[in-house]
Homo-oligomer: A and B are copies of this chain.
Amino acid sequence: MSTFKDINQVFALIESELTETESAFSRYLGSDIDLIPKIGEHIILSGGKRLRPALLILTCGMLGGNRKTGTLLAAVIEFIHTATLLHDDVVDEADMRRGLAAANTIWGNEASVLVGDFLFAMAFDIAVDQGSMATLKSISTATRRLAEGEILELMKTADVSTTEADYLKIIDGKTAILMATACEVGAITAGAENSINKQMKEFGQCLGIAFQMIDDILDYNSCEENLGKTIGIDLEEGKVTLPLIHTLQHALPEEKEKVKEIITADYVSRQDFDFVHGLMKKYKSLEHTTAEAEKHLKRAHIILNQLPDSQEKEALHFITDYVLSRDR
């Protein structure tokens, strides 16, 4: 039976390490160029989940490393994540982020682009000071693949011929690779063997793929209040995610035609959304997506099971289950 009953207990286990990571955020965002701490703190201190820092620190601890040695590299991963959020909001023309006004709506797209660039650059600058060539390689490759995933997503916008393979490539880049790198860097920092580093990279990747699949389900199933963003935003932005791909695979020609019209339109009405949501219920597309996520999470548990027992390992098992059960 798990030691943990609640995700907050997982974060409590590594509270002192996460506090160090948080104080690194403030320290590295400090600049006499006002806009940097203003925008940086708006987005980074507005209470993200710190899932990626937690993955890095827990992996490091699980594999016998001193968890404290991972706190700055955890900040590096979160800086990269935050930079992509700033740039995503420009790309998506988002109005909301984490329940707050998106930075671009307050300070303009220009500022979001440049402060995002600053965060990327600062991340590399800290990584060079902290890391080894192995961690740098993991981080630089992840950042490149992150950009590739985002570009592929942009290219596939409103494209109803998007395949499951396209989708997997997109979410691998935009979400999974950074979680994979968080775990890999945690393992490297612990001084683990190369084979263990690779296993933990795969663990993070499985977790990330499932995480994004659940995110894509929540986009259709959640409401504004508890997701901190507008309902059905993916449909409005023309993002063809797994629930929609599955629906399109099973839809009748006239249904498919209607979905195509909706996803290419500038504006998606509540009625349009309900129509698509109705099709997803009809074809059990959200259940299919959940089942796909479960496959990846099962693989994540299997990888963990091969590693020596520890509190951190229990915590990572808990996170793996949490990815499926979370409602926001």
Of chain B, the residue at the smallest CB distance from A31 is B148
Of chain B, the residue at the smallest CB distance from A87 is B113
Q: Which of A150-158, A226-234, A280-288, A300-308 contacts B (4 or more CB under 8 A)?
A: A150-158
CB distance from A185 to the nearest CB of B (A): 13
Provided the pairs A109-B109, A155-B35 are in contact, do residues A124 and B148 lie with their beta carbons within 8 angstroms? no
At the interface, yes or no: A117 with Cβ under 8 Å from chain B? yes
Given contacts A121-B140, A128-B137, 17 further A-B contacts (CB under 8 A): A33-B148, A36-B148, A84-B117, A87-B113, A87-B117, A111-B151, A111-B154, A114-B151, A120-B121, A121-B144, A124-B143, A125-B137, A125-B140, A125-B141, A125-B144, A127-B140, A129-B137
Provided the pairs A125-B140, A133-B128, A140-B125 are in contact, do residues A33 and B114 lie with their beta carbons within 8 angstroms? no
What per-residue 1/0 map shows which CB atoms of A85-117 lie under 8 Å from chain B? 001001100000000000000000111011111
What per-residue 1/0 map shows which CB atoms of A5-25 lie under 8 Å from chain B? 000000000000000000000
Q: Which of B121, B141, B147 contacts A147 (CB 8 A)?
A: B121
Provided the pairs A31-B148, A33-B151 are in contact, do residues A90 and B109 lie with their beta carbons within 8 angstroms? yes
